[in-house]
A and B are shown apart, each in its own frame.
Chain A
Amino acid sequence: MTERHKSAISHHPWLHRFAVSTAGATILLIVAGALVTSNQAGLAVPDWPLSYGTWMPPMVGGIFYEHGHRMIGASVGLLTIILALWLWRAERRSWLRCLGFIGVAVVVLQGVLGGITVLYLLPWPVSVGHASLAQLFFCLMVSLALFTSKGWQEETPPLTEVGVPSLPRLSIATALAVFVQLVLGATVRHQVLGIVPHLLGAALVVVVVAWTVRRVLLHHNQKALRQPVKALAILTALQLALGMGSYLARLATADAPQPQPLMVALTVAHVAAGALLLATSVVLALQTHRLFDQRSAIESRLFPATQRVHP
């Protein structure tokens, strides 16, 4: 490792662990939010920001889910603020310091969307927006955990590019396809569109994911790419099974007098695995770009601009 490179590293192990914990708390929050929707408890607490006029209503029935979700949401908000302040103090990369505060802005916006959806009795654009922004916020927290990791700043063998479209493009297409699929999923869940667009989306996701996975496994041996790609394959298969399960469980319990435990478990797992899938695809895209950029960084070190040959 060169002297110059060592000094460029800005790594704080505890800050990184804190970022990882915040991302972990966020996936729990997504589970808690999905429990609200699956248990039809979104309006169990009619008021906001207070709940039944207090900070601590009786935690019975649907109130348990709705108010519990609000409390976990507030805690994650707090963690996000601490993380942003910590980054601000300790982190040298200024774009990363900014990203911490973008996280705060998003979590506040998300909380307000949650409040609005309660006050306006779950208008679907707000509910779908709340569901989708939750996924993006989780990706942001996972990215912060990734950016603060030591591995992110270490030099790795540069990416040798093979094939068209390029891996950076392919990985971005994967993340976008998964995100669109999540939004379509939210429109199924909040009864806006039927299942058909979501099924077409699933087919698209399968194609793009398979393409990306194949490309990486056949042509790249960096751990930073192979690991997310394996997770991507497993999560996609899992998600197809959970989606099928959710669909069947909804059908089978359509005339049940109340949400049935199996339906709740499957749909909540489908939402949570969706969040993990999106985050994995974002990690892959970020890693791809890092390795790709490192190649250009090394190239420019080996061949300073004055000597570089432009074809």
Chain B
Amino acid sequence: MNLRNIAAFASLFLLLLVIGCGSAEQPAEETAATEAAPAAEPIDPATAATISGKVSFEGTAPRRRRIRMDAEVACAQMHSGPVYSENFVLNDNGTLRNAFVYVKSGLEGRSFPTPPDAVVLDQKGCMYTPHVVGAMVGQTVRVLNSDQTTHNVHPVPKNNREWNRSQAPGANAIEATFARDEIMIPVKCNVHPWMKSYIGVLKHPYFAVTGEDGTFEIGNLPPGDYTLGVWHESLGSSEMQISVAAQESKTVDFVLEKAG
């Protein structure tokens, strides 16, 4: 019987090993798909157009969700009042904050230089500032820790390499780049599970994030036909076709509705 027992255990372990070790996924490689890009065709400022507008909300706004950070003094003491989740922020004028507006298509065949300055993502009061940010492929993203507590910085991309690094108080900024375009890359902290932000990565500089007045402006755009996309954390995405003529200042408004 005893041998039988041992054999039974052994076969269970083997079964498990098969399950456990079967197909451990390797993280994707960071090799950028550096296609031979066409030479950067300069944008002629004399013909460049501008798209601007606002992103507004229709429907009944969901209840704002309170974040509980009492368990962590270093986080809580940075806030004077209650802290709410930034997944849905309705401005007083009925517009939405933190909507990401970008040119989704129409710029194929052009290439754009990577901006030399970094995009900054700060961690302050155990919240990411800004909550939503855009960057170009290859552009440096600097992650700062302005808190007296430890964070881990953990982007969860689908199309880029995933990584996870710790950042103690006073530690150097973490600098990272993303090799491929992706809408949107969530960034999480697992020490403070409410901490979440999103980075939109594009091959061109034509994007904007709506702020306290819910407006956006995308300038210096060559005339042409484009698909303009908008992404919102809780309301999903939508898009529209537009054409802009030389020097045109076009106004485009998005209305997002509560899904479901």
- What residues of chain A have their CB less than 8 Å away from a CB belonging to chain B? 39-47, 52, 57-58, 60-63, 66, 93, 95-96, 98-99, 102, 106, 113, 116, 120-121, 123, 125-126, 128-130, 132-133, 136, 140, 143, 172, 179, 183, 255-259, 286, 289-290, 293
For A98, the closest partner residue in chain B by CB is: B6
- Our pick among B8, B74, B150 for the contact of A57 (Cβ within 8 Å) is B150
Q: Which residues of B contact A (CB under 8 A)?
A: 1-6, 8-9, 12-13, 16-17, 19-27, 62, 65-68, 71-72, 74, 85, 87, 149-150, 152, 154, 162-166, 168, 189-194, 196, 234
The residues of B that contact A95 with a CB separation of less than 8 Å are 2-3, 5-6
Cβ–Cβ < 8 Å partners of A52 in chain B: 150, 166, 168
Q: How far is the CA of A256 from the CA of B64 in the complex (A)?
A: 10
CB contacts (< 8 Å) of B194 on chain A: these are 257-258
Q: Which 10 pairs of residues, A with B, have the shortest CB-CB distance?
A: A129-B20, A257-B85, A61-B191, A258-B194, A44-B190, A95-B2, A46-B164, A62-B191, A43-B190, A293-B1
Give 6 pairs: A residue, B residue, CB < 8 Å, sorted on A.
A40-B193, A116-B24, A125-B20, A183-B19, A257-B194, A289-B4
Please give, as numbers and ranges, the residues of chain A lying within 8 Å of B74 by CB-CB distance: 60
CB distance from B256 to the nearest CB of A (A): 16
Q: How far is the CA of A14 from the CA of B163 in the complex (A)?
A: 48
Q: Max chain A CB contacts within 10 Å: which of B12, B23, B26, B62?
A: B12
B85 to chain A, nearest CB (A): 4
Chain A residues near B71 (CB-CB < 8 A): 61
Give the tally of cross-chain contacts (CB within 8 A). Answer: 130
Residues of B within 8 A of A143 (CB): 5, 9
Minimum CB–CB distance for A298 against chain B, Å: 14
* Chain A, Cβ-Cβ closest to B12: A136
Describe A's contact surface by its main secondary structure. Answer: helix
Q: Nearest chain A CB to B132's CB is how many angstroms away?
A: 15
Question: Are A60 and B20 within 8 A (Cβ)?
Answer: no
Interface pair A286/B16, CB less than 8 Å apart: no
A179: B residues at CB distance < 8 A: 12
B193–A39 contact, CB under 8 A?
A: yes
Contact B25 A61 (CB under 8 A): no
> Are A61 and B192 closer than 8 Å at their CB atoms?
yes
Residue contact B191 to A256, C-beta cutoff 8 Å: no
| Contact assessment for B72 and A60 in the assembled complex, using a CB-CB cutoff below 8 Å | yes
Contact: B65 with A257, CB < 8 Å?
A: yes
Additional A-B contact list (20), CB under 8 Å, known A96-B2, A125-B22: A43-B152, A44-B191, A45-B166, A46-B154, A52-B150, A60-B191, A62-B189, A66-B190, A95-B3, A98-B6, A120-B27, A121-B27, A121-B154, A128-B20, A136-B13, A183-B19, A256-B65, A257-B87, A258-B68, A293-B1
Q: Which of B19, B20, B21, B152 contacts A46 (CB 8 A)?
A: B152
Nearest-CB residue, chain A, relative to B156: A121
Contacts of B24 in A (CB 8 A): 116, 120, 123, 125-126
Chain A residues with Cβ below 8 Å from B3 are 95
